[in-house]
Chain A
């Protein structure tokens, strides 16, 4: 009976103030979508790092007028370097093959470039990719070297962009969360006010504190959970229509967003939504109801 009472109070409470409830759910949903998106982004960057750092290379491009002697010296020096795990020499032909493969979608570009124009290079795998700087310092200025390029640097730029987007999503989630928080507090105040007579009687006859507070707290939690479900729906739609739809090429180039990544955001969003609502409601009641 008590559970039934509390549940019916929750539904009545949500319905009584339905415009506020809807506002609360929408802000909660937007905030949680942002949270889910930034969580997704975080996993995405993680996955990408795993995938790309494995194959990371440092490329040492040689000048076009490099002599045979300089090339052999450099090759020997790199092979003997304790920082270097593996050295592959790539001549102009191989570079051209690679170029053709990379830009197969742009035949005009490929036809405009002759194998001669592409530089020879040494491709290095480092023992520890973090030690790029030492390689760079050691070999810069050596005869015959045009440029030393760390692919990690290039990837880091992508990661930085993704990280920035993630931070923006997180900030947006937080700002919306503040709005949601205030709406929850206000909704609870209105609910407590409209039930002030009942609450007064309950306090008088000695109803336990949890029994008085539970309907209000659960009201907020239910709204938070509905918000989380809507947010999860939005995230799923984003996966279907955005990641697998219009942004397909981009996501495949990076790493595809899997359903498991999206699904794991549901408990995160639901947990965050329910917890934030419950705590806000409870704190509001402590000030407003003084039970």
Chain B
């Protein structure tokens, strides 16, 4: 599969092929601009490849019409480096918002949201606003929001990029716990510490090509 952005001199991803099994935990590593984040965008159907196909949850995303995208995205959770929380809503409201905008009732939210906040270790802090929470806690809220709809896949784009090492480890434990519930976790990072500690599958990308694909790998 190849993806070239308009105006780019070389493809962001050049003839890349990779398959991830259900329930796997995969790191995509590589230097900035190597094309890691493009993978996330492709999986989210934010961009489409120029050549080849992207298949997610058994569905060919490449040929998916854009009006089907919202429904498709409900099966994918997403976490980013910058958390992307709504500043004027509490932790509870941020998570509930994700449910309510896809048509879940307030009653469902009242039942599910405290549960998932408890799961990410934020019990008792439901009614804090993002600015009243530490970076690690904010990322926990983001993880809760990504996971509350019980997605099949959790995509994490440098989730520890803004966190100190200790907090990063805690977030990784959380992602690991989520992975153990059967959720596939795809994480893009260049945090070598974390990759080395986790000992999971590592796919290394350089200049748009896969240069290494190793089970239980290290950053190298």
B86 touches A201 (CB 8 A): yes
Contact with A along B97-121 (1 / 0, CB 8 A): 1101111011000000000000000
Total chain A interface residues with beta-carbon distance under 8 A:
17
A206 at the interface (CB under 8 A from B): yes
Residues of B within 8 A of A1 (CB): 100, 105-106
Contact with B along A181-213 (1 / 0, CB 8 A): 000000000000000011011111111110110
Residues of B within 8 A of A2 (CB): 100, 103
B178 at the interface (CB under 8 A from A): no
Contact with B along A150-189 (1 / 0, CB 8 A): 0000000000000000000000000000000000000000
A206 touches B87 (CB 8 A): no
A259 at the interface (CB under 8 A from B): no
User: Which residue of the partner chain B has the closest CB to A198?
Assistant: B86
Contact with A along B40-79 (1 / 0, CB 8 A): 0000000000000000000000000001011111101010
A205 touches B73 (CB 8 A): yes
B74 touches A205 (CB 8 A): yes
A201 with B97, Cβ < 8 A, contacts A1-B105, A206-B102 known: yes
Contact with A along B72-100 (1 / 0, CB 8 A): 11101010000010110000000001101
With A and B bound together, what is the CA distance between A200 and B84 in angstroms? Answer: 8
Residues of B within 8 A of A204 (CB): 73, 78, 84
With A and B bound together, what is the CA distance between A198 and B103 in angstroms? Answer: 15
Residues of A within 8 A of B87 (CB): 197
How far, in Å, is B150 (CB) from chain A's closest CB? 12
Total chain B interface residues with beta-carbon distance under 8 A:
22
A209 touches B101 (CB 8 A): no
B145 touches A205 (CB 8 A): yes
With A and B bound together, what is the CA distance between A212 and B101 in angstroms? Answer: 8
B84 touches A205 (CB 8 A): no
How far, in Å, is B101 (CB) from chain A's closest CB? 4
A207 touches B84 (CB 8 A): no
User: Which residue of the partner chain B has the closest CB to A195?
Assistant: B86
A5 with B100, Cβ < 8 A, contacts A205-B74, A206-B72, A206-B73 known: yes
Residues of B within 8 A of A203 (CB): 70, 73
Of B67, B105, B106, B149, the residue contacting A205 (CB under 8 A) is: B149
Residues of B within 8 A of A198 (CB): 86, 97
With A and B bound together, what is the CA distance between A201 and B93 in angstroms? Answer: 13
With A and B bound together, what is the CA distance between A203 and B46 in angstroms? Answer: 10
Contact with A along B134-174 (1 / 0, CB 8 A): 00000000000100010000000000000000000000000
B84 touches A197 (CB 8 A): yes
With A and B bound together, what is the CA distance between A202 and B102 in angstroms? Answer: 8
With A and B bound together, what is the CA distance between A5 and B101 in angstroms? Answer: 9
How far, in Å, is B208 (CB) from chain A's closest CB? 25
B103 touches A206 (CB 8 A): no
A201 touches B71 (CB 8 A): no
With A and B bound together, what is the CA distance between A201 and B79 in angstroms? Answer: 11
With A and B bound together, what is the CA distance between A197 and B82 in angstroms? Answer: 12
Residues of A within 8 A of B149 (CB): 205
Residues of A within 8 A of B76 (CB): 206
Question: Can you sample 14 A-B contacts with CB below 8 Å?
Answer: A5-B100, A197-B86, A200-B84, A201-B98, A201-B101, A201-B145, A203-B70, A204-B73, A204-B84, A205-B78, A206-B69, A206-B70, A207-B70, A208-B102
Which residues of A approach B to under 8 Å, CB–CB?
Answer: 1-2, 5, 197-198, 200-209, 211-212
New contact pairs (9) apart from A204-B73, A212-B101, CB-CB < 8 Å: A1-B105, A1-B106, A197-B87, A198-B97, A201-B98, A205-B74, A206-B69, A206-B73, A211-B101
Q: Which 10 residue pairs are nearest across A and B when measured between Cβ atoms?
A: A206-B73, A206-B74, A207-B101, A205-B98, A206-B70, A208-B70, A202-B101, A204-B78, A197-B86, A207-B102
